[in-house]
Amino acid sequence: MKCGGEAPLTGDLYVLVQEYAEARFRGTWIAGEDPTGLYWRRVRISTVSEEIRALDRYSRFVAKLHDSPVFNPDEHAVVKVARFYRSAREAGRSDALVHLRGVRRRRSKAAPTINRRMTESDKAAMRAKHLSPAEMIETVEHGARSPRDKMLLLLLGYAGLRISEPLHLYVNDVVELFRETGASKIRLEHPENGSCVSSTTEDRSGFLARVYKRLPRTQLGRGHREFAGWKGMVLTEADSANRYAFWLEESITGRYFRRCLEAYFDDHKSLLRTGRLRHPYLFFNTTRNGALNYGQPLSLSCAHELVDRAFRRVGIRAGSHACRHHYGFYAADVLQIPQETLMRMMHHSSIVSTDTYYHVSAASVRARISGTDIRRIPYARPEFPSSWGKP
């Protein structure tokens, strides 16, 4: 079997079989349409398992005859896909395993409840609404261990992106620089109808279909491991500057992002230069050591996990959206940016969405009560690590 003119590697075969199992598992229909042309309906786990076993027997026969790699040793693809959809269903993220309802009901009653309803006090104890400037720096500097993870946190906390939005970035979206500061330019485009850097006429849906035979990640369905949503940031066609992310402290954070980006590319140059990266996305799985999904697009669940892990390492209880709130409060409190300007920076469609960052703080209320200066009391501008560079 040939793949793109070359014999596929064992890892490629594994991914191919896993994608086959997933397509059989959840069907190929999306919102009443089938972009693959296969027109497969959902089938049971047992059916997929039987098909994979037959494929496995055939692949072992071919491997023995032609000394070629086997397709799927030990049926790992079916097991992995099944576990993913079961977890997604229990978390309320997918209806892909409706046909397994009876199987789930047979679980022990003593099993812990995964999706227990949290009280308001639980939520308040676990999640901070936003981070202080010092906490954001600490999370990037000591919570993130790899250039990729630092890049993601920088985009959330200093470019104001939501957790799913960096997952739609292409490699070509971050290669330009701002001449004045040397910071990376982060091009923002709608994942479906946005334009491509390499084309002025083709949108991203057409580009993905033509070059990679892929759908945009927004169209994959919430149960798909590569699904990533898009809330709908305002991107003005008439204003080209508004199609780029606005860095806070651009000469520091934007340049530090560039350094992390260069280290990221250098760490994975063998993957990037050999054409084995079969998608255009900037963020991908970096686990090697025999891992078969190395180079696959970073999933939304993995993005959440790496951010949560960074917070845990520095002892902060917060969610990923606290980084975006840090962006808003830093712009309002530290940089004293006008509200209308911040609305544009955060790509909000309404000034009401930006209003939360301009409420008076508790410190300001105490100052008013004590009869002192009634101006809003801002955070002080933090000291950034020397490793990030100087403005």
What 3-state class would DSSP assign to 381? Answer: coil
Residue 83 and residue 185 in one domain: no
Of the residues 298, 326, 354, the one at which a domain ends: 326
Which pLDDT does position 87 carry in this prediction?
A: 54
Range of the domain at 49: 10-114
Of the residues 65, 91, 114, the one at which a domain ends: 114
Which pLDDT does position 128 carry in this prediction?
A: 56
Residue 361 lies in a domain: no
Residue 132 and residue 229 in one domain: yes
Which pLDDT does position 325 carry in this prediction?
A: 94
Which pLDDT does position 238 carry in this prediction?
A: 54
Which pLDDT does position 141 carry in this prediction?
A: 97
Residue 304 lies in a domain: yes
Tell me the β-bridge partners of 6.
Answer: 3
Which pLDDT does position 360 carry in this prediction?
A: 53
Residue 148 and residue 169 in one domain: yes
Q: Is 4 exposed, middle or buried (0-12, 13-18, 19+ CB in 10 A)?
A: exposed
Residue 143 and residue 263 in one domain: yes
355 φ/ψ angles, rounded to the nearest 5 degrees = -60, -30
**Cβ(165)–Cβ(230) under 8 Å?**
yes
Residue 109 and residue 177 in one domain: no
**Which element (helix H / strand E) includes 266?**
helix 250-267
Residue 161 and residue 251 in one domain: yes
Residue 246 and residue 223 in one domain: yes
Which pLDDT does position 3 carry in this prediction?
A: 46
Residue 93 and residue 207 in one domain: no
Residue 211 and residue 316 in one domain: yes
Of the residues 84, 114, 144, the one at which a domain ends: 114
Q: How many domains are there within the chain?
A: 2
> Quick one: angle between helices 300-313 and 147-158, nearest 10?
90
Residue 22 and residue 90 in one domain: yes
Which pLDDT does position 9 carry in this prediction?
A: 54
Which pLDDT does position 308 carry in this prediction?
A: 95
Residue 109 and residue 196 in one domain: no
* pLDDT tens figures, 258-267: 999 999 999 9
Strands (E), the chain: 195-196, 199-203
Low-confidence ranges of the chain (pLDDT < 70): 1-14, 29-36, 70-129, 198-200, 236-241, 289-291, 360-379
Which pLDDT does position 299 carry in this prediction?
A: 93
DSSP 2: -
Q: Is 62 exposed, middle or buried (0-12, 13-18, 19+ CB in 10 A)?
A: middle
